[in-house]
Amino acid sequence: MARAAEAAAIANDYPDMTAAGATAALAEHLGLPADHLVFGPGSAALCQLLLLVCCEPGAQVVHQWPSFEGYPSMIGHVRADAVPVALDGVDTDLDAMAAAVTDRTAVVMLCNPNNPTGALLDQQRLRRFLDRLPDHVTVLIDEAYRDFVLDPGYRDALDLVREDPRVCVLRTFSKSYRLAGLRIGYLVAQPALTARLAVLRMFFAPSAPAQAAAVAALAGVAEMRQRCAQVGAERTRLRDLLIEQGWQVPVSQANFLWVPTPDAGEFTRHCAAYGLRVREWAERGVRVTIGSPATNDAFAEVAAGFRAAARQAVAP
Protein backbone atom coordinates (compact mmCIF):
# COMPACT_ATOMS: atom_id res chain seq x y z
CA MET A 1 0.00 0.00 0.00
CA ALA A 2 2.92 2.33 0.67
CA ARG A 3 4.30 1.78 -2.84
CA ALA A 4 0.85 2.31 -4.34
CA ALA A 5 0.42 5.55 -2.41
CA GLU A 6 3.76 6.84 -3.66
CA ALA A 7 2.73 6.13 -7.25
CA ALA A 8 -0.65 7.79 -6.70
CA ALA A 9 1.11 10.99 -5.65
CA ILE A 10 2.27 11.43 -9.26
CA ALA A 11 -1.02 10.41 -10.85
CA ASN A 12 -0.79 13.38 -13.22
CA ASP A 13 1.57 11.23 -15.29
CA TYR A 14 0.31 8.37 -17.47
CA PRO A 15 1.30 4.91 -16.29
CA ASP A 16 3.84 2.87 -18.22
CA MET A 17 1.58 1.21 -20.79
CA THR A 18 4.03 -1.70 -21.13
CA ALA A 19 4.39 -2.18 -17.34
CA ALA A 20 8.12 -2.59 -17.91
CA GLY A 21 9.12 -2.47 -14.24
CA ALA A 22 6.46 -4.94 -13.14
CA THR A 23 7.25 -7.17 -16.11
CA ALA A 24 10.95 -7.28 -15.24
CA ALA A 25 10.20 -8.12 -11.60
CA LEU A 26 7.71 -10.83 -12.53
CA ALA A 27 9.98 -12.32 -15.21
CA GLU A 28 12.69 -12.76 -12.58
CA HIS A 29 10.18 -14.19 -10.10
CA LEU A 30 8.81 -16.78 -12.56
CA GLY A 31 12.07 -17.52 -14.36
CA LEU A 32 10.57 -16.58 -17.72
CA PRO A 33 11.65 -14.17 -20.46
CA ALA A 34 9.92 -10.80 -20.27
CA ASP A 35 8.42 -11.28 -23.74
CA HIS A 36 6.28 -14.11 -22.31
CA LEU A 37 4.34 -11.69 -20.05
CA VAL A 38 1.50 -9.21 -20.51
CA PHE A 39 0.04 -7.18 -17.64
CA GLY A 40 -3.52 -5.86 -17.50
CA PRO A 41 -6.12 -4.42 -15.09
CA GLY A 42 -7.04 -7.78 -13.60
CA SER A 43 -7.07 -11.23 -15.15
CA ALA A 44 -10.66 -10.76 -16.34
CA ALA A 45 -9.61 -7.85 -18.55
CA LEU A 46 -6.81 -9.96 -20.01
CA CYS A 47 -9.28 -12.76 -20.66
CA GLN A 48 -11.39 -10.28 -22.62
CA LEU A 49 -8.30 -9.06 -24.49
CA LEU A 50 -7.38 -12.60 -25.48
CA LEU A 51 -10.88 -13.26 -26.81
CA LEU A 52 -10.76 -10.02 -28.81
CA VAL A 53 -7.52 -11.09 -30.44
CA CYS A 54 -8.34 -14.76 -31.04
CA CYS A 55 -12.04 -14.78 -31.95
CA GLU A 56 -13.76 -13.71 -35.13
CA PRO A 57 -17.54 -13.22 -34.96
CA GLY A 58 -19.16 -16.64 -35.03
CA ALA A 59 -16.16 -18.45 -33.57
CA GLN A 60 -16.74 -20.93 -30.78
CA VAL A 61 -15.28 -20.85 -27.27
CA VAL A 62 -15.49 -24.09 -25.28
CA HIS A 63 -15.48 -23.83 -21.48
CA GLN A 64 -16.46 -25.76 -18.34
CA TRP A 65 -19.82 -25.14 -16.73
CA PRO A 66 -20.41 -24.23 -14.00
CA SER A 67 -17.28 -22.10 -13.97
CA PHE A 68 -16.43 -18.41 -13.65
CA GLU A 69 -19.72 -16.67 -14.36
CA GLY A 70 -18.02 -13.93 -16.38
CA TYR A 71 -17.00 -16.27 -19.22
CA PRO A 72 -20.32 -16.29 -21.14
CA SER A 73 -20.65 -12.50 -21.18
CA MET A 74 -17.01 -12.04 -22.22
CA ILE A 75 -17.52 -14.48 -25.08
CA GLY A 76 -20.69 -12.68 -26.11
CA HIS A 77 -18.90 -9.33 -26.14
CA VAL A 78 -16.69 -10.51 -29.01
CA ARG A 79 -19.72 -11.98 -30.84
CA ALA A 80 -18.44 -15.51 -30.43
CA ASP A 81 -20.56 -18.51 -29.45
CA ALA A 82 -20.12 -20.00 -25.99
CA VAL A 83 -20.03 -23.80 -25.84
CA PRO A 84 -20.47 -24.75 -22.17
CA VAL A 85 -19.56 -28.32 -21.24
CA ALA A 86 -21.16 -29.75 -18.11
CA LEU A 87 -18.95 -30.88 -15.26
CA ASP A 88 -18.71 -34.53 -14.32
CA GLY A 89 -19.94 -34.09 -10.76
CA VAL A 90 -17.53 -31.40 -9.59
CA ASP A 91 -14.70 -32.42 -11.91
CA THR A 92 -13.97 -31.09 -15.42
CA ASP A 93 -15.02 -33.57 -18.13
CA LEU A 94 -12.02 -33.27 -20.44
CA ASP A 95 -13.29 -36.00 -22.76
CA ALA A 96 -16.52 -34.07 -23.34
CA MET A 97 -14.60 -30.82 -23.78
CA ALA A 98 -12.33 -32.38 -26.40
CA ALA A 99 -15.37 -33.79 -28.19
CA ALA A 100 -16.96 -30.31 -28.24
CA VAL A 101 -14.06 -28.81 -30.22
CA THR A 102 -14.83 -28.20 -33.91
CA ASP A 103 -13.28 -26.37 -36.84
CA ARG A 104 -15.01 -23.22 -35.51
CA THR A 105 -13.42 -23.46 -32.07
CA ALA A 106 -10.97 -20.63 -31.49
CA VAL A 107 -10.40 -20.89 -27.73
CA VAL A 108 -10.79 -23.49 -25.00
CA MET A 109 -11.01 -22.03 -21.49
CA LEU A 110 -10.10 -24.04 -18.40
CA CYS A 111 -10.46 -22.56 -14.92
CA ASN A 112 -7.99 -24.47 -12.72
CA PRO A 113 -8.74 -24.80 -9.82
CA ASN A 114 -12.27 -24.39 -11.05
CA ASN A 115 -14.58 -21.70 -9.71
CA PRO A 116 -17.01 -22.53 -8.02
CA THR A 117 -16.16 -26.18 -7.30
CA GLY A 118 -12.49 -25.85 -6.35
CA ALA A 119 -11.66 -29.02 -8.31
CA LEU A 120 -8.14 -29.33 -9.72
CA LEU A 121 -6.74 -30.69 -12.98
CA ASP A 122 -3.21 -32.05 -12.73
CA GLN A 123 -0.58 -31.48 -15.38
CA GLN A 124 -0.66 -35.03 -16.76
CA ARG A 125 -4.39 -34.79 -17.53
CA LEU A 126 -3.86 -31.41 -19.16
CA ARG A 127 -1.07 -32.80 -21.34
CA ARG A 128 -3.28 -35.64 -22.57
CA PHE A 129 -6.06 -33.14 -23.25
CA LEU A 130 -3.74 -30.90 -25.29
CA ASP A 131 -2.68 -33.88 -27.38
CA ARG A 132 -6.29 -34.23 -28.53
CA LEU A 133 -6.73 -30.63 -29.68
CA PRO A 134 -6.03 -29.26 -33.17
CA ASP A 135 -3.28 -26.71 -33.72
CA HIS A 136 -5.66 -23.82 -34.44
CA VAL A 137 -7.13 -23.79 -30.90
CA THR A 138 -5.74 -21.47 -28.22
CA VAL A 139 -6.01 -22.95 -24.71
CA LEU A 140 -6.50 -20.45 -21.90
CA ILE A 141 -5.80 -21.86 -18.42
CA ASP A 142 -7.18 -19.53 -15.76
CA GLU A 143 -5.07 -19.99 -12.63
CA ALA A 144 -6.58 -17.20 -10.54
CA TYR A 145 -6.61 -19.50 -7.48
CA ARG A 146 -3.36 -21.35 -8.13
CA ASP A 147 -1.61 -20.12 -4.94
CA PHE A 148 -4.22 -21.82 -2.78
CA VAL A 149 -3.12 -25.25 -4.08
CA LEU A 150 -0.96 -26.35 -1.17
CA ASP A 151 0.32 -29.69 -2.48
CA PRO A 152 4.11 -29.12 -2.81
CA GLY A 153 4.25 -31.69 -5.64
CA TYR A 154 1.65 -29.96 -7.79
CA ARG A 155 2.94 -28.73 -11.16
CA ASP A 156 1.03 -25.80 -12.66
CA ALA A 157 0.58 -24.85 -16.30
CA LEU A 158 3.67 -22.67 -16.74
CA ASP A 159 5.58 -25.72 -17.96
CA LEU A 160 2.93 -26.19 -20.64
CA VAL A 161 3.40 -22.60 -21.82
CA ARG A 162 7.10 -23.24 -22.30
CA GLU A 163 6.38 -26.31 -24.40
CA ASP A 164 3.24 -25.45 -26.36
CA PRO A 165 2.57 -22.20 -28.28
CA ARG A 166 -1.19 -22.84 -28.05
CA VAL A 167 -1.24 -22.50 -24.24
CA CYS A 168 -1.54 -19.32 -22.21
CA VAL A 169 -2.01 -18.89 -18.46
CA LEU A 170 -3.96 -16.20 -16.62
CA ARG A 171 -3.06 -15.14 -13.09
CA THR A 172 -4.04 -12.31 -10.81
CA PHE A 173 -2.83 -10.32 -7.81
CA SER A 174 -6.44 -10.04 -6.62
CA LYS A 175 -6.67 -13.26 -4.59
CA SER A 176 -3.58 -14.52 -2.78
CA TYR A 177 -1.81 -11.12 -2.90
CA ARG A 178 -4.96 -9.28 -1.72
CA LEU A 179 -4.85 -6.48 -4.33
CA ALA A 180 -8.35 -6.93 -5.78
CA GLY A 181 -9.21 -3.23 -5.55
CA LEU A 182 -6.13 -2.20 -7.52
CA ARG A 183 -7.02 -4.39 -10.52
CA ILE A 184 -3.84 -6.00 -11.78
CA GLY A 185 -3.21 -9.40 -13.33
CA TYR A 186 -0.99 -10.98 -15.96
CA LEU A 187 -1.01 -13.43 -18.83
CA VAL A 188 1.82 -15.83 -19.68
CA ALA A 189 2.25 -17.09 -23.24
CA GLN A 190 4.89 -17.55 -25.89
CA PRO A 191 5.94 -14.39 -27.82
CA ALA A 192 3.92 -15.29 -30.91
CA LEU A 193 0.76 -14.73 -28.85
CA THR A 194 1.92 -11.93 -26.54
CA ALA A 195 2.95 -9.91 -29.60
CA ARG A 196 -0.61 -10.14 -30.93
CA LEU A 197 -1.96 -9.00 -27.58
CA ALA A 198 0.46 -6.07 -27.50
CA VAL A 199 -1.39 -4.43 -30.39
CA LEU A 200 -4.32 -3.68 -28.06
CA ARG A 201 -2.41 -3.63 -24.76
CA MET A 202 -2.48 0.16 -24.36
CA PHE A 203 -6.26 -0.03 -23.88
CA PHE A 204 -5.83 -2.57 -21.07
CA ALA A 205 -2.89 -1.05 -19.16
CA PRO A 206 -2.91 -1.33 -15.35
CA SER A 207 -2.63 1.88 -13.34
CA ALA A 208 0.67 3.14 -11.94
CA PRO A 209 -0.35 2.43 -8.30
CA ALA A 210 -1.33 -1.11 -9.27
CA GLN A 211 1.99 -1.72 -11.00
CA ALA A 212 3.90 -0.39 -8.00
CA ALA A 213 1.89 -2.56 -5.63
CA ALA A 214 2.49 -5.66 -7.76
CA VAL A 215 6.27 -5.14 -7.71
CA ALA A 216 6.16 -4.71 -3.93
CA ALA A 217 3.94 -7.76 -3.53
CA LEU A 218 6.46 -9.98 -5.32
CA ALA A 219 8.94 -9.11 -2.56
CA GLY A 220 6.51 -10.59 -0.01
CA VAL A 221 5.99 -14.07 -1.42
CA ALA A 222 6.83 -15.76 1.90
CA GLU A 223 4.09 -13.80 3.66
CA MET A 224 1.66 -14.63 0.87
CA ARG A 225 2.47 -18.34 1.17
CA GLN A 226 1.88 -18.17 4.92
CA ARG A 227 -1.53 -16.54 4.40
CA CYS A 228 -2.48 -19.19 1.83
CA ALA A 229 -1.48 -21.92 4.29
CA GLN A 230 -3.75 -20.32 6.90
CA VAL A 231 -6.59 -20.26 4.37
CA GLY A 232 -5.91 -23.92 3.58
CA ALA A 233 -6.10 -24.90 7.25
CA GLU A 234 -9.42 -23.07 7.66
CA ARG A 235 -10.67 -24.59 4.40
CA THR A 236 -10.08 -28.08 5.79
CA ARG A 237 -11.56 -27.23 9.19
CA LEU A 238 -14.75 -25.73 7.74
CA ARG A 239 -15.18 -28.62 5.31
CA ASP A 240 -14.87 -31.10 8.18
CA LEU A 241 -17.53 -29.20 10.17
CA LEU A 242 -19.92 -29.22 7.22
CA ILE A 243 -19.35 -32.92 6.50
CA GLU A 244 -20.13 -33.70 10.15
CA GLN A 245 -23.45 -31.93 9.62
CA GLY A 246 -24.23 -34.13 6.60
CA TRP A 247 -23.31 -31.80 3.73
CA GLN A 248 -21.57 -33.45 0.75
CA VAL A 249 -18.70 -30.96 0.34
CA PRO A 250 -15.98 -31.93 -2.17
CA VAL A 251 -12.29 -31.26 -1.63
CA SER A 252 -11.38 -27.73 -2.78
CA GLN A 253 -8.02 -26.38 -3.90
CA ALA A 254 -9.16 -22.73 -3.92
CA ASN A 255 -10.05 -20.18 -1.24
CA PHE A 256 -13.68 -21.30 -1.16
CA LEU A 257 -15.82 -24.40 -0.72
CA TRP A 258 -18.58 -25.73 -2.97
CA VAL A 259 -21.69 -26.74 -1.04
CA PRO A 260 -24.03 -28.69 -3.34
CA THR A 261 -27.74 -28.34 -2.63
CA PRO A 262 -30.84 -28.22 -4.84
CA ASP A 263 -32.19 -25.66 -2.36
CA ALA A 264 -29.45 -23.17 -3.22
CA GLY A 265 -31.81 -20.19 -3.41
CA GLU A 266 -33.46 -20.91 -0.08
CA PHE A 267 -30.08 -21.56 1.54
CA THR A 268 -28.69 -18.30 0.15
CA ARG A 269 -31.64 -16.36 1.61
CA HIS A 270 -31.22 -18.19 4.92
CA CYS A 271 -27.56 -17.14 5.07
CA ALA A 272 -28.45 -13.54 4.16
CA ALA A 273 -30.88 -13.40 7.08
CA TYR A 274 -27.88 -13.91 9.35
CA GLY A 275 -25.67 -11.38 7.55
CA LEU A 276 -23.71 -13.93 5.52
CA ARG A 277 -23.37 -13.65 1.74
CA VAL A 278 -22.66 -16.69 -0.41
CA ARG A 279 -22.58 -17.08 -4.20
CA GLU A 280 -25.64 -18.95 -5.42
CA TRP A 281 -25.83 -21.29 -8.40
CA ALA A 282 -29.54 -21.92 -8.88
CA GLU A 283 -30.59 -25.48 -7.97
CA ARG A 284 -26.93 -26.57 -7.90
CA GLY A 285 -25.32 -25.22 -4.75
CA VAL A 286 -23.48 -22.29 -3.22
CA ARG A 287 -19.88 -21.19 -3.12
CA VAL A 288 -18.69 -19.92 0.26
CA THR A 289 -15.42 -18.03 0.54
CA ILE A 290 -13.10 -19.02 3.38
CA GLY A 291 -13.06 -16.14 5.87
CA SER A 292 -11.73 -15.61 9.37
CA PRO A 293 -12.18 -18.45 11.88
CA ALA A 294 -15.05 -16.54 13.51
CA THR A 295 -16.78 -16.00 10.16
CA ASN A 296 -16.31 -19.65 9.22
CA ASP A 297 -17.78 -20.73 12.57
CA ALA A 298 -20.75 -18.43 11.96
CA PHE A 299 -21.35 -19.99 8.55
CA ALA A 300 -21.11 -23.52 9.99
CA GLU A 301 -23.67 -22.62 12.65
CA VAL A 302 -26.04 -21.12 10.08
CA ALA A 303 -25.59 -24.15 7.79
CA ALA A 304 -26.39 -26.49 10.70
CA GLY A 305 -29.53 -24.50 11.44
CA PHE A 306 -30.66 -24.75 7.83
CA ARG A 307 -30.24 -28.54 7.79
CA ALA A 308 -32.05 -28.88 11.11
CA ALA A 309 -34.99 -26.82 9.83
CA ALA A 310 -35.10 -28.88 6.61
CA ARG A 311 -35.19 -32.14 8.56
CA GLN A 312 -37.95 -30.82 10.79
CA ALA A 313 -39.98 -29.74 7.76
CA VAL A 314 -40.01 -33.28 6.32
CA ALA A 315 -40.47 -35.10 9.63
CA PRO A 316 -43.77 -37.00 9.94
Residue 263, domain extent: 222-313
Q: Are 37 and 250 in contact (CB under 8 A)?
A: no
Residues 85 and 189 in one domain: yes
pLDDT at 197 over 70: yes
User: Which one, of 253, 263, 211, lies nearest residue 232 by Cα?
Assistant: 253
Among candidate residues 220, 247, 266, the one where a domain is terminated: 220
Among candidate residues 220, 236, 271, the one where a domain is terminated: 220
Residues 60 and 160 in one domain: yes
Give pLDDT tens digits for 104-120. 999 999 999 999 999 99
The confidence score (pLDDT) of residue 202 equals 81
Cα 219 to Cα 27: distance, rounded to the nearest angstrom: 13
Residues 136 and 27 in one domain: yes
Q: What is the mean pLDDT of residues 232-256?
A: 98
Integer angstrom CA distances of residue 314 from 206, 260, 273, 306, 310: 54, 19, 22, 13, 7
The confidence score (pLDDT) of residue 315 equals 61
Residues 67 and 124 in one domain: yes
The confidence score (pLDDT) of residue 203 equals 86
Cα 243 to Cα 47: distance, rounded to the nearest angstrom: 35
Cα 102 to Cα 80: distance, rounded to the nearest angstrom: 14
Residues 91 and 235 in one domain: no
Look at the chain and report how many structural domains it folds into: 2
Residues 245 and 207 in one domain: no
Q: Are 41 and 19 in contact (CB under 8 A)?
A: no
Specify the pTM. 0.94
pLDDT at 56 over 70: yes
What value does the mean pLDDT of the chain take?
Answer: 95
The one-character DSSP state at 251 is P
Residues 212 and 234 in one domain: no
Q: Are 237 and 296 in contact (CB under 8 A)?
A: yes
Give pLDDT tens digits for 246-259. 999 999 999 999 99
Residues 173 and 232 in one domain: no
